[in-house]
Amino acid sequence: MIEFKNIEKAFGDNLVLKDVSHLMETGKCNLIIGTSGSGKTVLQKCLVGLFEPDKGEIIYDGISFTEMTQDNRKELRQQIGMLFQGSALFDSKTVEENVMFPLDMFTHLTHQEKLKRVNEVLNRVNLEEVNKKFPAEISGGMKKRVGIARAIVLNPKYLFCDEPNSGLDPQTSMVIDKLIYDITKEFNMTTVINTHDMNSVMEIGENILYMDQGQKEWSGNNKEIIFSKNERLNAFIFASEFLKDAKDMRMLEAKGKISNDRDMDEMMM
Amino acid sequence: MIKGMFTKPENVKMYWKEFMHQCNDIGIGSLGIVSIISVFIGAVSAVQTAYQLVSPIIPLTTIATIVRDTVILEFAPTLVCIVLAGVIGSKIASELGNMRVSEQIDALEIMGINTKAYLILPKIAASLVTIPLLVVIAMVLGIWGGRMAGTASHILSPETFDKGLVMNFTPYNVTFALIKSYTFAFIISSIPAYYGYYVKGGALEIGKSSTKSVVVSCIMLLFADYVLSQLLLNPAT
């Protein structure tokens, strides 16, 4: 569980985060959504300590992250895995070496034990026969999966994903979403995902924080979001005509006005 | 940046591995260019010295003495390090810049690794170990190049060159050249590391910071050369 209270962050005169508070729950996919420039990446970087918030408090399972010493933060960071937008794999290392890197750095396992663990996590993200390939030799979707494998290789308690679907086709995006969701449940992690992908929101959004102009505008889950009355959130979600139609259908469905497939077809006409 | 490098390593073995990797990249990687440059510098200095010594009362052994001293005092440490500032400096700046822009440095930070210590310290340490060695190799090859050019163009015989080579030899010159090479090694590695580590933006900024780091390194190198010469060679000081 990660709780943050009254977070504020400014770059010069530009106040990027304004008094943001929320609770990220354990064992759930916690989504931070919002338009580009709404402050979600800055918020995530504050949560992992890449940026220092100007005000507010971040609490990891009851322990204040903001008040921790650098040494304590180092220890905590070994329980944090992060998937970056561009995967951030080390170019000069193979897939196997990339995934093995945290094990090399922080464990005293033998090479065979490390190799076994690497193969376990690579199998878990459905990657086979890519161990000896370099990041430049694999596809964007594969890079994301290697990024996930590297993030979970030390069995972290917290997983952060910064726009995991950016640059991926819808089908691969769904595969990545499902993978993150399954891993979250399997290892009971607190997963925090930055996204503006509506498919992800609807598929895996168990706890959603909607950010607008650096502020918390709305929070809820993927079942509530579709019926939200928040105008800004609706403008964000239903930016496409297709989704507006989908919402109308869901509303009518909820009221019992659509009873069968034929009625649905008529609605689509 | 320098202060942040000195913390307890997360894993000494990994730091050592990175240090050896950098020694290989910086030392072995630059050996070819250093060898070629040194041989030609020595050869050119032998031919040009012979061209300028027109008086018949000056013995031919003087050519070897001048080649030896110019190569040891200036050409091997300074010229080679200026070339290395381009070769190694741009490599360090662009490597770190690319890691910064593609969030690889952030990924290391998230893992709890002191990125200054893990990425910069091995580069500076490897430079401090390998660059003085490269300078010593450049000295030997430069003098050998001068001997080869002098004898090949019938300016002086190998025996005369060897005689001049040992004449009035001052071991302090080698010490001075090594002091210079250590100073230059630090400049060549730390300035590009700074520019690369703190780069902001994208591919264009990586290129700009790489160029800037080489220019600043070269200027600092020449300035340090002057200061060290004043301090350590000027008989008045």
User: Domain residues of chain B, as ranges?
Assistant: 25-230
Confidence at residue B166, expressed as pLDDT on a 0 to 100 scale? 92
Confidence at residue A235, expressed as pLDDT on a 0 to 100 scale? 84
Q: Kindly report the number of other CB atoms within 10 A of residue B231's CB atom.
A: 11
Confidence at residue A115, expressed as pLDDT on a 0 to 100 scale? 94
A 173-232 → B contacts, CB under 8 A? none
Q: Is residue A88 domain-shared with residue A111, that is, in the same domain?
A: yes
Calculate the CA B16 to chain-centre distance: 22
Q: Is residue A224 domain-shared with residue A269, that is, in the same domain?
A: no
Question: B54-71, pLDDT tens digit by residue?
Answer: 788 888 899 999 999 999
Domains of chain A: total:
2
Confidence at residue A267, expressed as pLDDT on a 0 to 100 scale? 47
Q: Kindly report the number of other CB atoms within 10 A of residue A122's CB atom.
A: 23
Residues of A within 8 A of B109 (CB-CB) are 49-50, 77
DSSP B117: I
* 3-class DSSP assignment, residue A198: helix
Q: Is residue A64 domain-shared with residue A185, that is, in the same domain?
A: yes
Angle (nearest 5°) at CA B183 between B180 and B188 = 115
Nearest-CA residue of chain B relative to A51?
B106
Residue B111 at interface with chain A, using a CB cutoff of 8 Å: yes
CB contact under 8 A, A91 and B104: yes
Q: Is residue A218 domain-shared with residue A244, that is, in the same domain?
A: no
Confidence at residue B177, expressed as pLDDT on a 0 to 100 scale? 95
CA of B110 to nearest chain A CA: how many angstroms apart? Answer: 6
| Per-residue burial over B77-114, b = 16 or more CB atoms within 10 Å of its CB, e = otherwise | bbbbbbbbbbbbbbbbbbbbbbbbbbbbbbbbbbbbbb
Residue A51 at interface with chain B, using a CB cutoff of 8 Å: no
Q: Is residue A174 domain-shared with residue A260, that is, in the same domain?
A: no
Structure tokens at A75: 């220890």
Query: Under 8 Å CB-to-CB from A225, ≥6 apart: which residues?
Result: A201, A202, A205, A208, A210, A218, A233, A237
Per-residue pLDDT, averaged over B141-165, amounts to: 93
Q: What span, in angstroms and rounded, lies between the C-alpha atoms of A213 and A193?
A: 18
Q: Is residue A170 domain-shared with residue A245, that is, in the same domain?
A: no
Query: Under 8 Å CB-to-CB from A113, ≥6 apart: which residues?
Result: none
Q: Is residue A79 domain-shared with residue A115, that is, in the same domain?
A: yes
Confidence at residue B73, expressed as pLDDT on a 0 to 100 scale? 94
Whether the CA torsion A190, A193, A194, A196 is positive or negative: it is negative
End-to-end CA gap in chain B: 33
Q: State which residues form the domain around A133.
A: 2-231
* 3-class DSSP assignment, residue A70: helix
CB contact under 8 A, B106 and A50: yes
Residue A93 at interface with chain B, using a CB cutoff of 8 Å: no
Question: B90-117, pLDDT tens digit by residue?
Answer: 999 999 999 999 999 999 999 989 999 9
Q: What span, in angstroms and rounded, lies between the C-alpha atoms of B4 and B225?
A: 28
CB contact under 8 A, A106 and B110: no
Residue A7: in which H helix or E strand, if any? strand A2-11
Q: What span, in angstroms and rounded, lies between the C-alpha atoms of B158 and B156?
A: 7
Percent of chain B residues topping a pLDDT of 70: 100
Q: Is residue A225 domain-shared with residue A260, that is, in the same domain?
A: no
Q: Is residue A256 domain-shared with residue A162, that is, in the same domain?
A: no
CA of B9 to nearest chain A CA: how many angstroms apart? Answer: 10
Residue B10 at interface with chain A, using a CB cutoff of 8 Å: yes
Confidence at residue B163, expressed as pLDDT on a 0 to 100 scale? 93
Average pLDDT score, chain B: 93
Res B168 pLDDT > 60: yes
Nearest residue, CB atoms, B107 vs list A76, A84, A104: A84
Question: A53-112, pLDDT tens digit by residue?
Answer: 999 999 999 999 988 888 888 888 889 999 998 889 999 999 999 999 999 999 999 999
Per the CB < 8 A criterion, the answer to whether B192 and B90 are in contact is yes
- Catalogue the E-assigned strands of A12-101: 14-24, 29-33, 55-60, 63-64, 80-83
**Amino acid (1-letter code) at residue B56:** P
Q: Count residue pairs from A and B with Cβ separation < 8 A.
A: 50
CB contact under 8 A, A104 and B107: no
Query: Under 8 Å CB-to-CB from A30, ≥6 apart: which residues?
Result: A2, A24, A190, A191, A192, A193, A206, A207, A208, A209
User: What is the interface pTM, i.e. ipTM, of the complex?
Assistant: 0.82
Residues of B within 8 A of A82 (CB-CB) are 107, 110
**Residue from A159, A210, A223, A173 nearest A28 by CA:** A159
Parallel, antiparallel or unpaired: strands A190-195 and A29-33? parallel
Res B222 pLDDT > 70: yes
Q: What span, in angstroms and rounded, lies between the C-alpha atoms of B97 and B204?
A: 10
Parallel, antiparallel or unpaired: strands A158-162 and A190-195? parallel
DSSP A25: P
CATH of the domain at A32: 3.40.50.300
CB contact under 8 A, B103 and A80: no
CA of B115 to nearest chain A CA: how many angstroms apart? Answer: 12
Residue ranges of chain A whose pLDDT lies below 70: 240-244, 246-269
CB contact under 8 A, A77 and B14: no
Residue A85 at interface with chain B, using a CB cutoff of 8 Å: yes
Residues of B within 8 A of A77 (CB-CB) are 109-112
Residue A46 at interface with chain B, using a CB cutoff of 8 Å: no
CB contact under 8 A, B107 and A75: no
Q: How many CA atoms lie within 13 A of A128 on its CB side?
A: 2
Residue A39 at interface with chain B, using a CB cutoff of 8 Å: no
